[in-house]
Amino acid sequence: MSSTPPSPAAEAAFLTALVTGLPATHDWAFPSLVAVSGGADSVALAVAIARLVPPAARGRLVIAHADHGLRAESAADAEFVRALAERLGASCVCRRLDVAAAGGREGLEGRARRLRYEFLAAAAHEAGARHVLVAHTADDQAETILHRLLRGTGVAGLAGMRRARRLADGVALVRPLLHVSRASARAFLAATGQEWREDATNTDPTRSRNFLRHEILPRCTAGPYPAAAAAIARLGDQAAAAAAALASAAEHLLDARSRRLAGGVVAVQTTDLAGLDHHLLAEVCAAIWRRENWPRRDMTAAHYRAVASMMRVVGEAAALDLPGGIRARLEAGQLLLEPRARRPSRPACSRRSPQNSAGIRDRSPPSSPG
């Protein structure tokens, strides 16, 4: 528990900020599903949402908890969340995830994240919820951006986490606290007298995110950069806008220059492309992969740049084999991108809808070739 004294003003400020962070399409007539780990941020989100739900919709609040089974205290966390849901008058869905036994190429943390989101998507579908609310804060955003910056990323990576994104068909993942500080969430809990659970692994400095959270950012804010987290988050907003503008330009160029041929081949007319910015052409390549739903796991920024370089070649033939079974060929003034094995894909190079099926207009940039 925080030692911060109760403050009615802090309580009101947090509720107001939460309302601001909810999407305009959020409809209380549909069930609201809140992901709750038991930690301070997610507990604050659940308590605040319970206060905002109109009386007629009280029975449609759902709290979902994923027990990853990786800590001895995880069962106690689940019991805490169940008790919280009962006190708030919400239904509760808890699931034990066998993270250690699950397959996948990710590390343990990545596998836990994937299984957690799969569970949340399934829980949302079962409850009929259009939005899954998660409690990432402005501090989480700053840590994410700094982590990506130090690890290596492009402009789109500097945008950090999206305020909303598609989670599954008809379901959006929404982060309504992404502009709210972690301190504000704890001040709200202090004002309401609400307890929460602490995860000891969140203090382990050998984990990269914890190192940034407990070693780097506190020293910045305590020293010459008191607004470090907010400044990093603002950089993320600016990077998101820049990446979205680049992606939009690439989409328009792709619409004007591409067509699909037999066998799932995408042809891009390369005449007069040599003088265009190399980053724009790399983004055009990334847009093709997104539209065609071709495998992107092993496609790196270097691969997109290589294909972009082919677009700028005049009067020569060239070929390049790419990850995911895609072959790029340059001939007769056009770039031909051909899947080497036939596989189901989305309709060729059709413009994506500006709004997903959960009613969220996602203005955040897609993954960038960097």
The 10 Å Cβ neighbour count of residue 146 is 24
pLDDT at 206: 85
Q: pLDDT per residue over 140-159, tens digit each?
A: 999 999 999 999 888 889 99
Q: pLDDT per residue over 280-321, tens digit each?
A: 999 999 999 999 999 998 999 899 999 999 999 887 888 999
Report whether pLDDT(341) > 80: no
Q: pLDDT per residue over 84-105, tens digit each?
A: 999 999 999 999 998 877 777 7
pLDDT at 368: 55
Q: Are strands 171-174 and 164-168 parallel, antiparallel or unpaired?
A: antiparallel
How confident is the prediction for the chain on average, in pLDDT?
Answer: 89
Candidate from 287-296, 346-355, 360-369 with smallest mean pLDDT: 346-355
pLDDT at 349: 45
CA 150-152-154 angle, to 5 degrees, is 125
Q: How confident is the model at residue 15 (pLDDT cuts 50, 70, 90)?
A: very high
Q: How confident is the model at residue 182 (pLDDT cuts 50, 70, 90)?
A: very high
The 10 Å Cβ neighbour count of residue 347 is 9
pLDDT at 3: 54
The strand order across the sheet containing 334-339 reads 258-260, 266-269, 334-339, 326-331, 318-322
Residue 132: enclosing H or E segment and its boundaries?
strand 131-133
pTM of the model: 0.81
Candidate from 157-166, 173-182, 220-229, 340-349 with smallest mean pLDDT: 340-349
Q: pLDDT per residue over 242-262, tens digit each?
A: 999 999 999 999 999 999 999
Report whether pLDDT(130) > 60: yes
Beta bridge mates, 133: 34, 174
pLDDT at 213: 94
- Please name which of 46, 48, 39 lies closest in space to residue 10, comparing C-alpha atoms: 48
pLDDT at 202: 85
d(CA 312, CA 247): 19
Q: How confident is the model at residue 163 (pLDDT cuts 50, 70, 90)?
A: very high
Q: pLDDT per residue over 207-251, tens digit each?
A: 888 999 999 999 999 999 999 999 999 999 999 999 999 999 999
pLDDT at 363: 45
Q: How confident is the model at residue 359 (pLDDT cuts 50, 70, 90)?
A: low
Q: For residue 300, what are the contacts with CB-CB under 8 A and spacing of at least 6?
A: none
CB burial of residue 149 (10 Å; 0-12, 13-18, 19+) = middle
pLDDT at 354: 44
Domains, the chain: 8-234 (3.40.50.620), 246-339 (3.30.465)
Q: pLDDT per residue over 21-48, tens digit each?
A: 999 989 999 999 999 999 999 999 999 9
